[in-house]
Structure 1
Amino acid sequence: MQSSSASPERITDPVTGFSYPASWIAACNDKEGLDLVRAGLAVLTSSGMILRRGYTTGTTAAACCKAATLSLKEVPDEVSVLTPSGIRVCVAVEATHGTASCFKYPGDYPGDATAGIGFIAECNPAGNGISLYPGEGIGRFARDTPRNRKGDPAISSPALSSILAAIQEGLETTGLPGVTIHLQVPRGEIVAKDTLNPKLGIEGGISILGTTGLVEPWDDHLTKTVMERVRTSDRVVLTTGRTGLRYARLLFPGYDAVLAGSHLKEALGEVKGQVILCGLPALILKFLDPEILSRTGCETIEEFATRPEFRARMHASFLKGKERYPRLRVVIVDRNGNILGDSG
């Protein structure tokens, strides 16, 4: 009679696509926490510790608007929202007679500047379709940028799509043909002072963001886990955000793609094998050359990228990077995955 042993469980993060090593799973004794990891609502660290993901301002806004819509016909105490990552989350709300409020859940991310901030949505039936009016506490662009006009609300495309989809779900549930919603963040202008918005030329409040709809729980434990992945990989491609991570996987399928966020210096210090730095230009070029915007008259890399002199300055930053990290290859892409520059 042949005996067989159960193969070790495999868990893949549905948000990043990273397959957790069996040793990490074995080190975790939190069965309920592992269920959250499988669902993409938490991450597993190399020590077996589980850290919960939070919800972005976009997800929170979507929940608030949906709750306000539902409250025209019922009194919800929580609503479900489909995030841009395809993961559905539940958000606690207070809602009645067309007015709803909820608070942003930070997960296990102690550095979240917008943690706990409150949202309020006021909804009224109105004809057909959806009319959304961003109000108090939601930032607006103080100048034209390549993607936004002066006065536009600081709401990213993925976040806006999530909000409108959530409202549409509310309409389908209530049977209403259309609504007008006014969304506000009462403490947004105060909280925004502790974000990057002042440097980005966004005034009057916070940004409503969320590429995936979830906030990564960056802390010392997760940083150590990222560094271990970098240290043990023979071929690694580092990136700074979700867009970069997606294109890094497509461009370099034979490499271990690692989201290092703002921890590039630490990650590059741990590299033992081949390393590529791939992603959108802003964080990467500022990391390679902190003075890249000096004497350009531009406030952001996105603005500078429209200037004729951008490519020359970008390649100069590649050289500065080579001086500090001789084995480093840098590949800069735009939001559509087109390669803007490659240090080779």
Structure 2
Amino acid sequence: MTSEGPELREPDLPRTAKVRPKALRTGWTTGTCASAAARAAALHLATGEPQSWVEVGLPSGRRVTFAVERAEELRPGRTEAVVVKDAGDDPDVTHGAQLTATVSWSAAPGIVLHGGVGVGVVTRPGLGLELGGPAINPVPRKMITQAVAEVVDLSSRGVDVTISVPDGEQRARKTTNAKLGILGGISILGTTGIVRPFSTASWRASVEQAVAVAAAQGEQAVVLCTGGRTERGAMALMPQLPSVCFIEVGDFTGAALRRAVEHGVGRVVFVGMVGKLTKLASGVLMTHYTRSKVDTTVLADITRAVGGPASVADEVAGANTARHAYELWEAAGLLPTAGLELCRRVVDVMERFTDHRVTAEAAMVDFTGGTVVASAGGGLLP
């Protein structure tokens, strides 16, 4: 870090001149595959018939069909089904994993979800999940529940669902799970149900194209969102802007900013959660987790800058995740002021990166993606 702020960096991706890249395949999240396995096992349990194919719903409402690798009755009232994950062309350690759902009847109505072999156990705070519980994120939980509820009337019958991944513990060794406090296996993840090849040049090109399309329609502002939840939240925050202005930028903030300058788009808003904002405030414009990690010392510095106690700053410096730091701010009553300072630093990085040729704004949203916790820059944001 210099006196002018953090060094700005955006690693270049390899390019092949004059060769049109082949379109990359999207894939399916572990959450989607787990929901498909759960539906297959539930159908087998309810009908007595093993399933070769099942259809499940994504959070968007789209329906997709999966082949069932294996379906069997383990004993009367207990069935199991396996769906193999296809991550498309995204480099993903869970590609080819056997997402396994074991479903059995239970006495009380409703569904109880368990983590089995190869699904990690949450042992540290900051992940938004219950300590001691399985590392199955909220959206996959909803998808699994929906998949089973379409087969079984959960108001009158009860089922236990256990999600497991036979080689999940071995696969997890190639991830940062252990460092985050997720032990014994992989996480069941996903917010849209779809895996896009975020770390590829083609996704970067799609972001650049989206900026160009907005500019071609005469729009003078674009809103960069890190994912589907933040995009939906941003649209609700800024209903005055047409949908073409909202770009799911993934990890390619730097590429989007360069195109905004090139096409004369004068205002750029970044909407994200605390983790991505921290990376931007650190000067990292390419925010994929394999290329950069959240620097909690930045958040500790912000804690001190807004007058937080030294003890809290020390806790933030040692936080497990950016979300953990966020929770520490919240517990200490520092969230509004610390969030504002974080957003101010992001605005500064964005404007310096573009040589002040754009006016930047930044908003930090909560973990639903729909509520603004803090914002800086003014103008388009409420």
Q: Normalising by structure 2, what TM-score?
A: 0.70
What is aligned with 2:162?
Answer: 182
What is aligned with 1:15?
Answer: none
What is aligned with 1:262?
Answer: 251
Q: Is the 8 A contact 2:225 2:246 kept in 1?
A: yes
Q: Alpha-carbon deviation of 1:316?
A: 5.7
Q: Does 1:205 align with 2:191?
A: no
Q: Is the 8 A contact 2:340 2:376 kept in 1?
A: no
Distance 1:134 1:89, change over 3 A: same
Q: Does 1:304 align with 2:293?
A: no
* Higher mean displacement: 332-341 or 77-86: 332-341
> 1:232-286: CA deviations, max 9, x gaps?
5242111111111112222234261111111112222221212111122211221
Q: Which amino acid aligns with 1:259?
A: E
Q: Is the 8 A contact 1:304 1:310 kept in 2?
A: no
Unaligned runs of 5+ in 2: 1-19, 74-78, 285-293, 301-316, 378-382
Distance 1:316 1:258, change over 3 A: closer
Distance in 2 of aligned mates of 1:195 and 1:251: 35
Q: Which amino acid aligns with 2:280?
A: F
Q: Over aligned residue pairs, what C-alpha RMSD do you find?
A: 2.7
Q: Alpha-carbon deviation of 1:58?
A: 1.0
Q: Does 1:82 align with 2:85?
A: no
Q: Which amino acid aligns with 1:138?
A: V
Q: Is the 8 A contact 2:36 2:55 kept in 1?
A: yes
Q: Does 1:323 align with 2:362?
A: no
Distance 1:268 1:199, change over 3 A: farther
What is aligned with 1:338?
Answer: 371
> 1:302-337: CA deviations, max 9, x gaps?
111232273365156333444334332212211342
Q: Alpha-carbon deviation of 1:159?
A: 0.9
Distance in 2 of aligned mates of 1:170 and 1:51: 34
Q: Which amino acid aligns with 1:300?
A: T
What is aligned with 1:58?
Answer: 31
Matches for 1:211-290 after TM superposition, within 5 Å = 211-218=191-198, 219-232=200-213, 233=215, 234-253=220-239, 254=241, 256-272=245-261, 273=265, 274-289=267-282
Question: What is the count of residue pairs matched by the alignment?
Answer: 295
What is aligned with 2:342?
Answer: 314
Unaligned runs of 5+ in 1: 1-46
What is aligned with 2:92?
Answer: 112
Q: Alpha-carbon deviation of 1:60?
A: 0.6
Q: Which amino acid aligns with 1:267?
A: A
Distance in 2 of aligned mates of 1:67 and 1:317: 48
Distance in 2 of aligned mates of 1:186 and 1:214: 22
Distance 1:315 1:122, change over 3 A: closer
Q: Does 1:154 align with 2:114?
A: no
Distance in 2 of aligned mates of 1:292 and 1:341: 20
> 1:106-162: CA deviations, max 9, x gaps?
23x332332121122223333343333211111122223373332121112221011
Q: Which amino acid aligns with 2:338?
A: F
What is aligned with 2:3?
Answer: none
Percent identical among aligned pairs is 32
Distance in 2 of aligned mates of 1:236 and 1:315: 17
Q: Is the 8 A contact 1:236 1:258 kept in 2?
A: yes
> 1:61-100: CA deviations, max 9, x gaps?
1111121222230011111111222111111112121121
What is aligned with 2:296?
Answer: 293
Q: Which amino acid aligns with 1:293?
A: T
Q: Which amino acid aligns with 2:352?
A: E
Q: Is the 8 A contact 2:281 2:342 kept in 1?
A: no
Q: Which amino acid aligns with 1:299?
A: N
Between 1 and 2, higher relative CO (CA 8 Å, sep ≥ 6) is seen in 2
Distance in 2 of aligned mates of 1:92 and 1:134: 22
